[in-house]
Chains A and B, each alone.
Chain A
Amino acid sequence: MKKVLMPLVMVALLALIPFVGVQYAGLSYLFGVIIPYTAMVVLLAGFLMRLADWFRRPVPFRIPTTCGQEKSLDWIKYDRLESPAHFWEAAARVLSEVLFFRSLFRNTKAELHKDANLAYGSHKWLWLGGLAFHWSLLVIVLRHSRFFFVMVPGFTDFLDHADGFLDITLPTFYITDAVVLAAISFLVFRRLKDAKMRLISLQTDYFPLFLIAAIVVVGVLMRYVVRLDIMPVKDQMLRLVNFSVDAPGEIGTLFYVHLFLVSVLAIYFPFSKLMHAGAIFLSPTRNLTNNSRQKRHINPWNAEIKFRTYSEYEDDYREKMKKAKLPIEKQ
């Protein structure tokens, strides 16, 4: 259980740091200005560095995993998405992974029944949970753009309305808040419930889930429970996006907790498995066309190899070849 509790304790401690720091030590400048800026720099620089680090490594061989019929004879229909023959088909394949988690949609669950019989069932829960989690997060992040512009942009208003269409509670309840918390619960729960998942999970798998959950919970508290005055929050965020280093005004401590946890997530991001967000675009089994017999793929370091030539072979076997009446080059 250590691998579940440790990250939980870590997140709790992390949440306490700004609480104590702002409430009792008056470090609002540190938590409101210095740390957020640092975190953003680390996130951007780190993310780009990691991408560049992958990008500069060569792709020596064309190794798409073909999950559908190749392009071959004219009368055989090929699978444009799963066995792409053109760049744009491969791009569509990658996008279908990024936007809809296509490969996860295939997921099955294998069960070993009595007398050595295997059965496979469709198992889309991970796909659904993952999709709900990532899409809600995206909507939530985009919704937050209302804090970054003096005039709230149109699409933010639209998202706001769509997300709050249930129109219950005041302020309007956002569906994504509930969805993301439900999805996180599911993602944690499946790691605990299933023996396979329990075994493969590491602290690094629980930590970001707990961290994001904490960020959401604090956000929800601010909005629905404590009812934080958002005007000073917006002022502070506007200052930050305008690269101002002025001290923040009077804002409730919960805001600093929220902002600090977001900063921690941003700093953690480039050095962790969260980089899968970038990796998914570069995966050579998904983003390459399956046309390596039609167009030569170049390996920049193509190794020089000395192979055994025909003449060396004939030198060794000439007499035997003659006896077998095989044509030979040299008598």
Chain B
Amino acid sequence: MSKYAPKLSELKKEFDEKPSVLKGDYSAQEWWDRPVEFRDGNWCFPGKQEVLADLGFANPRKWAATDEDWQLPADWQKTISEGLQSRLKKYRSLKLFLDACVRCGACADKCHFFLGTGDPKNMPVLRAELLRSVYRNDFPLVEKILKGFSGSRKLTKAVIKEWHMYFHQCTECRRCSVFCPFGIDTAEITMLVRELLNLIGVNNNWILAPVSNCNRTGNHLGIEPHTFVQNIMSLAEDIEDHTGVNVDPTFNRKGAEVLFITPSGDVFGDPGVYTMMGYLLLFKHIGLDYTISTYASEGGNFGMFTSNDMMKKLNAKMYHEAKRLGVKWLLGGECGHMWRVVHQYMNTMNGPADFLEVPVSPITGTRFSNASATKMVHIAEFTADLIHHKKLKLDPKRNDHLRTTFHDSCNVARGMGMFEEPRSILRSVCNSFHEMAEDTIREKTFCCGSGSGLNAEEYMDIRMRGGFPRANAVKQVKDRHKVNSLVTICAIDRASLPPLMNYWNPGVSVYGLHELVGNALVMQGEKKRTTDLRENTMAGFEDGGDDDE
């Protein structure tokens, strides 16, 4: 286990013994008097100087959150105040969310970071209050007169440290906004505070390095075109070894009908690569005329965790490349925040996409009118439609060695509203599927604890705590239904849930939905398959046993 996380037994002991607000302990210490302490495991390494220079970002320097002096620029207060003012003018959401809260407390115990840390400043209401207290001090006149009355305070360096800590203990998952009677969305506040912090060089390398890479090479991992191709081709070879089918993907091919874009984690990371193999098998199975771009080779968008301008800049490549290649429409892979960007931001930021056509499935003829303006279809919508029209030859028994549950990814759930498509696919490709507890799925789903660019190794302590509510819900179905497979449609989940499961629920593996599709697909001309895409033995197919019942 990571040196940045406590031993599970120690953490459990802390949960049992340490008094916390979550367990009803009120220590009479007001939240603004509680100190902010950076220690191993609760801060991410700051942006490297060369990364900041590459992006043209403010205040490149060598520093650490544990430093006393963060070497903020001389006019940092002015930068923040003016930055806040200008954002208040540009976003009704920000202004309204700062004004409307009545501190009713409905959100208090809804945040996974609060449930995992017991730290009161992780209650969404207080997270927003960290900004609100400063906003009230600087802005509305009457509240200023009644200072002690309204809980306002000055913008100091200590406040900046507090913001850095707690706006990086928010994964922008929006669970709190489901429960808020006014729909106050902490994600919106976190996004804008992170923008402000970036203006004075208070940042996170795990976010900014991918941003810089993505800008330069087209993807977060900084993979150059030839390596990108090589990697997918090696996956294609694995598929051929394994199934005897040649999936022959194409790259940067003009005139293809569809441009397929997925997070680069699917090309490189384990277990994302198996999901990629699933896509490749599916496209081969239906004979889709598609291509993959090395330039727009990233579905994810860490710009979203940096600033809205950066989100737009990185996202612009999708339409730019679609136009250059002359495709008809876009198909997007499994990813969480990518889909928040595509669904809620892309067309507004970088549209109109009038050079594309309304997506129509070439196999079923279904017209995706819900994507008629953005012209990008989610792979789960696409596949669910294929299965509904019985266009896929599937053998769900091939997933009988997996007892699955499904994790709704925050952004797809609360920023898009896609719940049924992945479930309908999952039910068609595997025989054992058990839902987690009602309060932990669908719109009430819990984040993996590492979303929004917090998947850094050095952040393991906070990640294991933040992921605790999700892990705990998995544990219940593991105990009750012997679930051993956590299926998800998010690349960050595929990277972050395996360590989370190892920590809390050893024995549970993490799968992408289309990996299971790939397992179940009966390909034309395939050889006898006894193992799944991970080369794990499939139940009932061992020793070349018959599969002709």
A residues bordering B, Cβ < 8 Å?
6-7, 50, 53-55, 57-63, 65-73, 75-79, 82-83, 97, 101, 103-104, 106-110, 112, 114-118, 120, 126, 130, 190, 194-205, 207, 271, 273, 275-276, 279-280, 282-286, 290-299, 301-303, 305-310, 313-314, 316-317, 320-321, 323-324, 326-327
Contacts and interface: CB of A to CB of B under 8 A. Distances in A.
B229 A326 contact: yes
Contact of B371 (A82, A130, A290, A294): A294
A314 B217 CA distance: 10
Contacts of B388: 73, 75
Given A61-B348, A292-B348, A271 B140 contact: yes
Contact of B108 (A7, A76, A112, A200): A200
Given A65-B185, A108-B439, A196-B123, 9 more contacts: A6-B149, A57-B91, A59-B91, A73-B370, A197-B105, A198-B26, A204-B150, A204-B151, A285-B185
A275 B100 contact: yes
B295 A73 contact: no
A82 B469 CA distance: 24
Main secondary structure on B side of the interface with A: helix
A101 B106 CA distance: 12
A49 to B, nearest CB: 12
A323 B227 CA distance: 11
B372 interface: yes
B90 A58 contact: yes
A192 to B, nearest CB: 10
B106 A107 contact: yes
A204 B100 contact: no
Contacts of A6: 148-149
A89 B353 CA distance: 27
A196 B120 contact: yes
Contacts of A107: 106, 179
Contacts of B473: 118
A116 B15 contact: yes
Interface residues of B, number: 121
Among A83, A316, A326, residue most surrounded by chain B Cβ atoms (within 10 Å): A326
A203 B150 CA distance: 6
Contacts of B263: none
B417 A327 contact: no
A113 to B, nearest CB: 9
A117 B352 CA distance: 48
Nearest to B111: A110
Interface string B153-181: 00000000000000000000010011111
Interface in B376-403: 376, 381, 384-385, 388
B31 interface: yes
A194 B106 contact: no
A321 B226 contact: yes
A196 B185 contact: no
Nearest to B133: A202
B21 A199 contact: yes
Contacts of B347: 292-293, 296-297
Interface string B334-374: 00000000111101110110000000000000101111111
Contacts of B150: 202-204
A87 B313 CA distance: 31
B182 A276 contact: yes
B109 interface: yes
A320 B226 contact: yes
A69 B414 CA distance: 10
A63 B381 contact: no
B384 to A, nearest CB: 7
Given A271-B143, A294-B373, A67 B443 contact: yes
A104 B181 contact: yes
Contact of A67 (B178, B372, B437): B178
Contacts of A204: 149-151
B345 A61 contact: yes
5 contacts: A57-B89, A61-B348, A66-B413, A72-B418, A72-B421
A157 B185 CA distance: 42
Contacts of A201: 103
Nearest to A311: B324
A97 B106 CA distance: 14
Contacts of B138: none
A291 B414 CA distance: 14
B102 A273 contact: yes
Contacts of A115: 12, 16
A199 B120 contact: yes
B11 interface: yes
Interface string B1-20: 00000000001100110000
| Leading 7 A-B pairs by shortest Cβ distance | A66-B417, A70-B417, A279-B100, A324-B226, A285-B183, A195-B26, A307-B316
Contacts of B11: 116
Contacts of A298: 348
B12 to A, nearest CB: 5
A293 B180 CA distance: 25
B22 interface: yes
Contacts of B366: 73
B417 A310 contact: no
Contacts of A130: 104, 181
A77 B313 CA distance: 35
Contact of B351 (A116, A200, A296): A296
Given A82-B443, A293-B373, A294-B370, A200 B115 contact: no
A109 B26 contact: no
Nearest to A187: B104
A77 B109 CA distance: 31
A303 B309 CA distance: 7
Interface string B310-350: 00111011001100100000000000000000111101110
B285 interface: no
A69 B16 contact: no
B472 A71 contact: no
A83 B417 contact: yes
Given A203-B148, A280-B182, A66 B443 contact: yes
A54 B95 contact: yes
Given A203-B150, A204-B150, A295 B226 contact: no
A305 B312 contact: yes
B461 interface: no
Nearest to A82: B443
B31 A103 contact: no
B230 interface: yes
A300 to B, nearest CB: 9
B226 A301 contact: no
Contacts of A317: 224-226
A293 to B, nearest CB: 4
A69 B374 CA distance: 19
A267 B370 CA distance: 47
Given A116-B468, A276-B102, A324-B230, A282 B92 contact: yes
A196 B103 CA distance: 11
Nearest to B29: A199
B344 A307 contact: no
Contacts of B143: 271
A1 B84 CA distance: 33
B142 A271 contact: yes
A145 B188 CA distance: 41
A117 B92 contact: no
Nearest to A270: B142
A65 B129 CA distance: 21
Given A62-B344, A273-B102, A293-B370, A310 B320 contact: yes
B229 A324 contact: yes
A62 B341 CA distance: 11
B125 A200 contact: yes
B434 to A, nearest CB: 18
